[in-house]
Amino acid sequence: MKTFIPGRILPLFILISCSQPPEVAPEVPEIKLVSTFDVALDRDTQSKLESQFDAFLNPQNLDDWMKHMSSKPHHVGSPWSKQNAEFIAEKFEQWGFQTEIETFEVLMPFPKIRKLELVAPDQISLELKEPTLAEDATSGIRENLLPGFNAFSADGNVTAELVYVNYGIPGDYEELARMGIEVKGKIVLARYGGSWRGIKPKVAYEHGAIGCIIFSDPKDDGYGRGDVYPKGPFRMDQGVQRGSVLDMPMYPGDPLTPGYGAKKDVKRLAIADAPTIMKIPVLPISYGDALPLLKALEGPVAPVKWRGGLPVTYHIGPGPAKVHLQLEFDWELRTAYNPVAKLKGSIYPDEWIMRGNHHDGWAQGASDPLSGMVSLMEEARAIGELVKTGWRPKRTLVYAGWDAEEPALLGSTEWVEYHRDEIQGKMVVYINTDGTGVGFLGVGGSHSLEKLVNEVSSDVQDPVQDVTLQERVRARLRVNGNRDAEREDLRIYPMGSGSDYTAFIHHAGVPALNLGFGGESSGGSYHSIFDSYDHYKRFNDGDYAYGTTLAKVNGRLVLRLSEADILPFRFVNMAENIGTFIESNKKLAESVTKKTEKRNKLLDQNAFTIAGNPKKTYLPPKRLSDVQDFDFSPLEAAHKRLEASAWNYEKALAGIKKRVLTAEKKIEVNQLLREVEQSMTRAEGLPRRDWFKNMIYAPGFYTGYGVKTLPGIREGLEERNWDETHFYIIEVAKALDRASGKINSAANILKAN
């Protein structure tokens, strides 16, 4: 679902919306952070193991598997998705893993009727079809192909005036209100971008719209970026971006079984009672089909920032364009097939290191998800080759191919919900991949793993440039003037949602990572029938150099996590990053206060009316309620205690050798280290969405994929809910203190030996 493409990739180590990190408290000891090799791994033994692993990797395997698995449409519920799951499971078995295919019964609507017509001022029936291209061998396949649609749209048969709403995010509706335009009773036309697609119909419904049409604008996703397919990689005029619009910021997974696994005989909500299913019909269309709709619109000319790349003056409406939208779906349970493979650990069998990538796609799904899936498979095969040499992992390794990720992270979420107690007791780390490309390594995840990620990225060479992966990203940060370019450990980004790590980190509280390459590959085939083997070979990682490199990176992460006597969680970086989140939220509070004061003062002065163009409708904004004062001191104090605990642990770690601890003490320390992330969750979850338990990161309620750091505080400020803001300042402080307690307990054990 979330593939690494320009506009989505956050190249390794870029932190969003964070101020300069706060200074370390003077009482905290300043010591050099020791390497994982210094305290938990034998460098020579580990280097030999990783060199052996690298030697087993073969790019040809990635190509063979990609060509095979992308040869037919393979969405959840399709015959080829099941066959791909069986193919993956068979390979895992061949490579020495104990494998099973675990199934879940998940709701997945398939379209029965899709009709979109312009009924005024002219009558045009839109084709809603992607063409067959001679240059793309699989583009003519129609058997078992899902047409362009948005999963979990409501059924509907509506006719109304059309209103263009730009990206259809909350700020756009504020602008419409100032222009005196309402969408109540209307059908809105929004372009992709600015947020995750599911936010657009959600916000439209909140404003009274009765339907939503989403189109790919060529300025963002087409000829405005370069040559279109098949001449170039970018989206052609009839290419459609499929995708889910389930309200995943409330909860992902099967909408009928919130919080528990969707096994065959469990109790399910009625479809009408499922809160995450959209309440209005939603349809994605190409920019070729959007053009006659935009041509038929009149009313005010759209603001400059709202104008796209089509050869038409962008008007807002409403009308005189009137459209008829009819959608009907087959609302059935479909079987999701998750192949899950285990290699039992020789010393710590009840400590799991897990890798996952989804195998389902919206059509042929070569880039998203199979580019990541075949890299994972080659990584697992190389692990199997190591086992043949007599090596066994110390910890249990688990490899999974998730089904039904595209509709709403169904396969992985149901697996986590069903196995939650066992996962929380045994899972050390979950490492996710998805669609991957070429360019720069992008890594997001738990900041307790930031040190490990940097150690690995500085050991792996870029396949094109003669530098390490870390050095290449650092060079890009320098070119872009990023002030973190000289930081010893480059930052990894905090994760929102959009792929299968979501249930692990946000619901179960398991430390997680998400990795992929991007920045030099296009996204023009995303979720269309042209996300094909031919497109990938011509315009993406055609020689699989980066796919193989991704296997090297993830293989090292898995092997170091498996073999380390003391798990390589490090908390100085984590504390420093959390410090930036606190500072960012404090600045947001200041910004909200200043914005409120400025707007209300201008309203008092009647400035908006006086400065307005009397020939145009542009209403003053609404008056804002006064902002309360917020006391961040409890949170700042808890953060200082977390910093002190992190340095206390580093000092204890630097003072030991791995062979000093008894086996029992190692298990005790590792148990505490694993519990740090879970200690920063809250059983009651976040406001309006108790499924999300993590107090440090969450996807935004009105951004979808985009992350909100310290979300209870940040969204309280953004939504102007002052009581929530006060409450979560204290709750986050408690979470940090719980983490400090775990870290201090681990340090005390190390010091006692």
Place of tokens 């997945």: 108
pLDDT at 659 over 90: no
* Sequence-distant (≥ 6) Cβ neighbours of residue 587 within 8 angstroms: 19
Region for residue 185 given its phi and psi (left: phi exceeds 0; alpha: psi -120 to 50; beta: otherwise) = left
Distance, CA of 740 to CA of 746 (rounded, Å): 10
Cis ω before 11 (30° cut-off from 0): no
Question: What ranges do the domains of the chain cover?
Answer: 48-106+333-563, 108-331, 572-751
572-751 CATH, one of 2.60.40, 1.25.10, 1.10.3470, 1.20.930: 1.20.930
pLDDT digit string (tens) for 605-614? 999 999 999 9
Tokens encoding 655: 């003072």
The pLDDT tens digits of the residues spanning 90-99 come to 999 999 999 9
Residue 16: is its pLDDT beyond 50?
Answer: no
**pLDDT, tens digit (0-9, with 9 covering 90-100), for 483-518:** 999 999 999 999 999 999 999 999 999 999 999 999
pLDDT at 41: 87
Rg (CA), the chain: 26
Q: What is the pLDDT of residue 546?
A: 99
Write the single-letter amino acid at 44: D
Over range 402-412, report the average pLDDT.
99
| Cα–Cα distance list, 480 to 328, 454, 584 (Å) | 48, 20, 21
Top-level class of domain 108-331: alpha beta
Rounded distance between C-alpha atoms, residue 379 and residue 91, angstroms: 12
Q: What is the CATH number of domain 48-106+333-563?
A: 3.40.630.10
Cα–Cα distances (Å) from 683 to 378, 480, 688, in that order, read 38, 41, 14
Please compute the mean of the pLDDT values over residues 28-45 and round it to a whole number: 78
pLDDT surpassing 90 at residue 522: no
Rounded to whole angstroms, the Cα distance separating 725 from 629 reads 10
Which single residue is written with the structure tokens 């992270």? 409
Question: What is the distance between the alpha carbons of residues 244 and 240, in angstroms, rounded to a whole number?
Answer: 13
Give the model confidence (pLDDT) of 452-490 as tens digits. 999 999 999 999 999 999 999 999 999 999 999 999 999
Q: What span, in angstroms and rounded, lies between the C-alpha atoms of 492 and 505?
A: 15
Indicate the residue type of 355: R
Per-residue pLDDT, 2:
56
* Rounded-to-integer distance, Cα 323 and Cα 167, Å: 19
Angle of helix 450-457 versus helix 469-479 axis, rounded to 10: 100
